[in-house]
Structure 1
Amino acid sequence: MTALKEFQRLEAAGLWRNGANAQRRDVIVSLGEATLTITDLQDRPLAHWSLAAIVRKNPGAVPAVFYPDGDQDETLELAANETTMLEAIDKLRGALDRARPRPGRLRSLGIWGTLAATLAGLVIWGPNALQSHATRVVPEVNRKAIGQSLLKRIERLSGQTCRASGSAPLLARIAQRTGVEQLLIVREGVTTSLALPGGLILLNRSFIEDHEDPDVAAGAILAERIRAEAQDPLYALLKASGLKASVQLLTTGTLNEATLDAYAEAKVAQRRPTVDEDRLLAAFVETNIASSPYAYAIDKTGETTLGLIEFDPMTHQETQPVLTDQQWVALQNICG
């Protein structure tokens, strides 16, 4: 996303429509590193669009009309005077177009060569190795697009991710402290936490609203980070979706809607696997965060989390709080 560094933290006014028969709404459009975030005038999130999958419906015409690839009924209009935002989107689309393979004989040869190599890999390596290979070679922009597509499907089950005025920098601070790329808070559906391809970590609102110590939420994020390190979220997706998904990803760089729909529904319902206690303790040490608050939040008796309590690295230590008390109280209202 280096093509967009000069446009970071850019906002613009627009008109958004959720479907073909929906009424257009006044919205604020915010440009992030990987997404366009669309919020209402009260700063409540309405949609997240992957920057890698934005299509302009009327090139050269005004007002500019955009839609997320695969859903032409959902549209965003930007007026001609929103020149900086339009320039940013056009610059990104141009950068992505230059990065894509060119049509013609060379592209055809490349596709058939990739397909042949994939089929050969299936015969030689076996399914697990093929899925691992696909996980390694997929570009980061494709990972982020897949992650955003999954997020959109999960939001159908959990509702829109929570976002209150002033919450974005607080979430970014927690993410930086815990060593994750992006943190989002969900209302329901995801019962605890969930890592998605592209560096997204989803955290249930209860870790924010039901605890007075931000170390509890930090502990849940660290646990999910370790799960993602143990098994890449993209690999987990390919593993659950079968060989056809890996072949499709290797040959087209995308996954079909049915695959993403099925995975999102299954993943939300699944219980998260337990985390190795030694690795989790090491993460608490690395980030200078107390482990006891998280341990007691998971098990009030402390019986099943005794190691996190007895070997809390911050016992009798002076620590830098994840958030100040004032910041934490403000963040607890993130879901309204």
Structure 2
Amino acid sequence: MTALTEFERLEAQGSWRETPEARLREVIVSVGEATLTLSDPKSERPLSHWSLPAVIRLNPGKQPAVYSPNPDGPDETLEIDDPLMIEAIERVQRAIASRRAHPGRLRGGLTLLAALLMAAAAVVWLPDALTRHAARIAPPAQAHAIGKAILADITRSTGAVCERSSGRAVLDWISPKLIADEAEIHVVPAPVNGARRLPGQVYVLGNDMLLTAPGPEAAAGHLIAAQMAVPDRVLLLDALEYAGTGAVLQLLTLGTLPQDALRGYGEQLLRRPAPAPQDERLLEAFERKGISSTPYARSLDPTGTSVMELIEADPFRDAPPPQPLLNDQQWLALQQICAG
């Protein structure tokens, strides 16, 4: 099917269920010449191949689109909410149906259709596919450099990162315990609406979370929530979409973004509401880390009305955690990280 070769590099995220009883699993959906390939996003190992002519949509007109490769019984299903991928599948299937309905169509008509689809792919889908590809293959060092560039842009509106040595030592000590070995936590003088996760395990915290709380638990809660709310690849993809196709091409060829590619992105990011994970997942994380969820909940809503589940289901509501997050000397040093 030479008319379908323009879709060979189109990719999107999807949720795949191998059997009706199986749990949804995140996959990368790739459009091939006449197939959909479902791959593991971590290992890139193919999990399933579907024939495009046999794929049916189970919920026409609804979002997310749900597909199955078996019209007689949807054993496998795939959910896609990417509008470009949904449109691509429908265009391909219309092309297949048209070819079947008119087997005597002139070769010139097919050639024209292929040319139009290829032009549409180049204009509409190719930039998106390049950006997604760049986000997917970016090594940790590259993602970290992009995160630091966003942090630098954020400091244009918040003020420079606070680097008092005693407070910096506390952050370096608590980062691997609270988040991950490679995580970096930075404090800025102005509020950032809690904490923000940037690509490459870079985190930014407003100094207000340290000065207005009775202890470190509220700030720790915001950092944990920031870590769990959005995967690193999604953060990177959002930043690259802002940078634009030209910047992404330079990243793919030279390994770095243009100097001003992310100018203004940090300020735009701070204007958005801070994303948060589901309360159930967050409470499990608090319990694993030995942190009370109530200080975090009260920092979101001092009245407790909108965060009652986080307060009532606090894993340490009836007894304190086995060990304090920081001792008094460490907490004082962290509170003074922006002092001089």
TM-score past 0.5 threshold: yes
TM-score, length-scaled by structure 2: 0.58
Residues 165 and 251 of structure 1: is their aligned pair in 2 closer, same or farther, counting only changes over 3 Å?
closer
CA distance in 1, matches of 2:122, 2:188: 38
Q: How does 1:177-326 map to 2 (within 5 A)?
A: 177-180=177-180, 181-188=183-190, 190-229=192-231, 232-317=234-319, 318-326=321-329
How far is the alpha carbon of 1:126 from its aligned partner?
5.5
* SS of match in other structure, 1:203: strand
Distance in 2 (alpha carbons) for counterparts of 1:176 and 1:298: 25
Q: Which residue of 2 aligns with 1:329?
A: 332
Tell me, yes or no, if the aligned pair for 1:154 and 1:264 is still in contact at 8 Å: yes
Alignment partner, residue 144 of structure 2: 144
Query: Is the CA contact (8 Å cut-off) linking 2:239 and 2:265 kept in structure 1?
Result: yes
Which aligned runs of 4 or more in structure 1 are off by greater than 6 angstroms?
121-125
TM-score by length of 1: 0.58
Contact kept, 8 Å, 1:157 with 1:189, in 2: the verdict is no
CA contact (8 A) 2:191 2:208 kept: no
Matched residue count: 218
Q: Secondary structure at the match of 2:187?
A: strand
Read off the aligned partner of 2:211 and give its amino acid letter.
E
Any stretches of 5+ residues in structure 1 without a counterpart? 1-118
Assess if the C-alpha contact under 8 Å between 2:226 and 2:275 holds in 1: no
Structure 1 residue 287: Cα displacement = 1.3
Asked if the contact 1:214/1:323 (under 8 Å) is kept, the reply is yes
Whichever residue aligns with residue 167 of structure 1, its letter is G
Q: Tell me, yes or no, if the aligned pair for 1:189 and 1:268 is still in contact at 8 Å.
A: no
CA distance in 2, matches of 1:127, 1:311: 45
Whose Rg is larger? 2
Aligned to 1:133: 133
Q: Which residue of structure 2 aligns with residue 158 of structure 1?
A: 158
Q: Which amino acid aligns with 1:149?
A: A
Cα shift at 1:128: 5.0
CA contact (8 A) 1:291 1:308 kept: yes
Offset, 1:145 = 2.1
Give, in whole Å, the separation in 1 of the partners of 2:122 and 2:302: 48
In the alignment, the residues of structure 1 paired with residue 129 and residue 289 of structure 2 have an alpha-carbon distance, to the nearest angstrom, of 33
**Residues 169, 205 of structure 1: alpha-carbon distance in 2 compared, 3 angstrom cutoff:** same
Shift of 1:283: 1.7
Is the Cα–Cα contact under 8 Å of residues 167 and 335 in structure 2 kept in the other structure? Answer: no
Change (3 A) 1:256 1:185: same
State the distance in 2 between where 1:249 and 1:296 align: 42
Give unpaired runs (5+ residues) of structure 2: 1-118
Matched residue SS, 1:275: coil
Percent identity of equivalent pairs: 35
